[in-house]
Structure 1
Amino acid sequence: MIVLESKYLNIPHILKKLVIKSSTIRRLSLLVLLSVLNCDKKENNSKDKRTTSMIPKNEVVYVDSVPYIYRGGKPYYVKGAASNHLYDQVGKYGGNSIRTYHVNDKTQSILDMAYQQGLSVVLGIGLKKERDHNFDYDDEALVREQFETVKEQILKFKDHPAILMWGIGNELDIEYTKPSVWNAVEDISKFIKSVDTLHLTSTILAGADVDDFKEIIKRAPSLDVVGVNVYADIVTAHKNVKASGWKKPYLITEWGPKGTWDNPKSTDWGRLVEPTSTEKANNYYKKYYQNYIYNHRNKGCVGSYVFVWGYQHHGAVQTWYGLFTKNGNPLNGVYTMQECWTGESPDNTSPEVYSSGMILNGKTADQSIKVKKGVINIASVDALDLDGDSLYYEWQIVKEGFVLSRSDKSKAMLPGISGLIESNNERLINFKMNEEGEYRLIVYVLDHLGNASVASIPFLVQ
């Protein structure tokens, strides 16, 4: 018996080369070959149908003139995370969606993971910015070249069932001068709609500027949703969207603690005083979500993506926005989001640390601490664990402005300057600085389950 694997068959070639003396055998052979081909064709068609049927239709539905997102025929409120790490941890804490910023070699695995875990994805399509890349959106050749690149990305992933919508560009409005950028966004949105009728299109703005919305209304009418990245300005975002005349849904696509550009406290030499992760959870994540996101769910806001789900590789202060440590320990904000997303209190949470409880030479971070080179300094932290867990400590000293490298493989919470701290796993430490300059003292407080809290003090060595 000869077994023919249909995927390797070249039927015309076989028929030409096949020499069979008996006409009966010849007829039987042809019937077998055609049967194999037909079965294979049916199998492929069936597979195609299965793939198509797996994709839930994502659409905007208006109820009494209020826009909502429906996914698979059901209302879908986005409880999302703007991620750069730990995508697979979102569902564990009650989230239902993740946001990416561009297509890269990890996109397929991220989409597959999201589908397996029941998460949706705003799939970011990276576009060049006028400010960052000196990109001229009045240059038709450049715009066309970018369009062709984006087109390939769309065709590659358009049938993935995890996609909720396409995010066409991120913060293209930053210091832009040419509104033709929104015409380019519109061309991409229209192309998506010509090849993909199941997913929504959006673009993401740096804030909710009324004029930007008006330009989009005029130049990119096919967009289904607009996302806004807002921090301290979240308090006025809804009012601005309404004032612009935008009637479609909008998302808060980035939000979190007050931004480092939003005039937080600083030392007398200009370095930022960072709230502790406990203070961020209480003063920003909880209040912002309830007052300026969830409370607007019936006013056009269809959800949000908290920033940043993971840890930072940029920014003025390394620990400012991350919801996790480099080692994957959840900080206080993670459990705040779990409570916001699920409506239930977590079984166990991170330790609590407040700025008043982290002391360097008897002073707190907002007292502009200056120390002498070669002199011993004493630092301590007071922490509270509401679950009664044992607490552990890790201290690090980094140069002011330190940014974690993407290639860092160290097991420490951060790769701080070695040899400075005595017994860095204690609640109270001593250290001596050998060089003048600006530094930051960071402490991580962990419980036995790996939940963490973080606090920092900027200080000047003279």
Structure 2
Amino acid sequence: MKLLRKLLWTYMPILVIMPLFFIVLSLVPNRYASAYRDTGRKVFIKKEAGGYKLYRNGRPFFVQGASGSAFLEQLREAGGNTIRTYDTLGLAAILDEAQKNDIAVIVGLPMPMSVYRDYFYADDEKVNAMTEAFRHTVTRYKDHPALLMWCLGNEPVMTWKPGYSAFYKAYNRMLNMIHATDPDHPVTTTVPNFNIAQVMMIRNKVPGLDLISFNTFGKLEQLNGQLEKYDWLWSGPFLVMEWGAYGPWESELTAWKAPLENTSTKKAEHYRYMYDKLMPLKHPNFLGSTVFFWGAKQEVTPTWFSMFSETGGPTESVTVMKELWKKTGHDAGLPRLKYMLVDGKGARDNLMFRPGSARSAEFFLEGDNKAEIASVRWRIMEEDWYKNDKRKRPPATLLDTLAGMSNGRKLLFKAPAKEGPYRIYVSIADEKGNIATANTPFYVLK
């Protein structure tokens, strides 16, 4: 009984105050609404009957975009109209190339996450330096015709926890500076999925943002329901800034925690399903999306999110986006991989080999594959995601382990001599350079 009274005494204020807070918040008009007035700005968000629309140069603009900074000509050819960058490196060239291809640019302004409140945001000198750096960037590029909007931070974490006043003060300072320096373009930020707490803190602590952008992968299927259920919390405009293949954090794992990656063919099917069936295309406040990732990117593997190879070969996902954006028919002439087997087994079999042992790998094509395979590339890479940054490029390809091909689809190789986790990759290409990829993790155990 004493314990129960102690718990009630401790948590009763929270149980009473939190519901009252949500009730009061739901009754307060969304403070961002007054920001959406057409005052002759180049880009603005307009509240119309039943929802919001984005306008660019006086015309409605729906974002059909991608995250990245390269292959802008291919983006235009696929029907895309927007690229989203993560930083300002080479921004002048990106904006110029985008303008040449009639592509709009969402410029990412990178900033430390809120967890660095003591190291960074409590240091006036550091905050001043970042604010002035952003001011210089905004001033330099605010009149570029390719600019669409600014994205202040990528998942900076709008936390509800106490002790973050320095972060919110600095964030609002930079946000206000951008608006004052460039009133012609909206400002957004990103949150992972529809995070109720972070959306609440944006509404309460950062009311000056013009819209919210969601980074969401496997949880995209929940977004429509969350937007409807919590419209009292956020009924403003939004973008889906990152979406695409299931993330490594959402995938099956081997016994040594290596995530299992789908083939590029399976990913392409996933892109089509997500956009057609899960994307909130009919939501009145939806301003568009940017698919992830338009280029080649190392994240756990070199192929996980990459819609292109390192040399620019497009995967089937690029063609799928063209079908979705331009409403074209399905292109059945691309290389399509079904799966890969190593010693006749799949990745779920937790493949463990002795050093130097003779092994084989083989890939299998989908039954409806109609493409002529012009080239096959095999690679074995050591993995170190378990001890280092998952975005760090793996050690060099171990070409000495490759013993040769027994036929067009089967590789004979020797397991590496060094103990540890590895992954074997295959990339097949047709005569036009379209590629399909697959990989299988394995472990060398002495």
Aligned pairs for 1:371-450 within 5 A:
371-384=353-366, 386-401=369-384, 415-423=396-404, 426-435=408-417, 436-450=419-433
- Within-5 A mapping of 1:5-404: 57-104=42-89, 106-131=90-115, 135-173=119-157, 177=161, 178=164, 181-242=167-228, 243=230, 245-262=233-250, 264-282=251-269, 284-293=270-279, 295-313=280-298, 315-345=299-329, 347=331, 349-355=333-339, 358-384=340-366, 386-401=369-384
Determine the C-alpha separation between the residues in 2 that align with 1:175 and 1:395: 45
From the superposition, tell whether residues 322 and 144 of structure 1 become closer, same or farther in structure 2 (CA, over 3 Å): same
Larger gyration radius, structure 1 or structure 2? 1
CA-atom RMSD in angstroms: 2.6
Percent identity at matched positions? 28
In 2: Cα distance, 1:67 partner to 1:90 partner:
26
Q: Which runs of 4+ in 1 moved over 4 A?
A: 132-136, 138-141, 174-177, 346-349, 402-406
8 Å CA contact 1:383–1:445 kept in 2: the answer is no
Between the aligned partners of 1:65 and 1:184, the Cα distance in structure 2 is 34
* Shift, 1:375, TM fit: 2.2
| 1:50 counterpart residue number | none
Distance 1:161 1:394, change over 3 A: same
Question: What secondary structure sits across from 1:439 in the alignment?
Answer: strand
Alpha carbons 1:84, 1:311 under 8 Å: kept? no
TM-score, structure 2 normalization: 0.81
Q: Cα deviation per residue 1:109-152 (whole Å; 9 max; x = unaligned)?
A: 00011111100010111222234686443555543332222111
Instruction: Show CA shifts across 1:137-181 (max 9, x none).
Output: 355554333222211111111111101111111110077852653
Describe the shift of the 1:134–1:416 C-alpha distance in structure 2 as closer, same or farther (beyond 3 A): farther
Post-superposition offset of 1:302: 1.1
Contact 1:229 1:254 in 2 (8 A): yes
Aligned 8 A contact 2:69 2:94 in 1: no
The aligned amino acid for 2:403 is E
* Structure 2 counterpart SS, 1:62: strand
Segments of 5+ residues of structure 1 without an aligned counterpart are 1-54, 409-413
Letter in 1 for 2:134: V
CA distance in 2, matches of 1:288, 1:421: 37
Contact 1:268 1:368 in 2 (8 A): yes
Q: Match for 2:99: what amino acid?
A: Y
Q: 303-312 vs 206-215, which deviates more? A: 206-215
How far has the Cα of 1:92 moved from its partner? Answer: 1.9
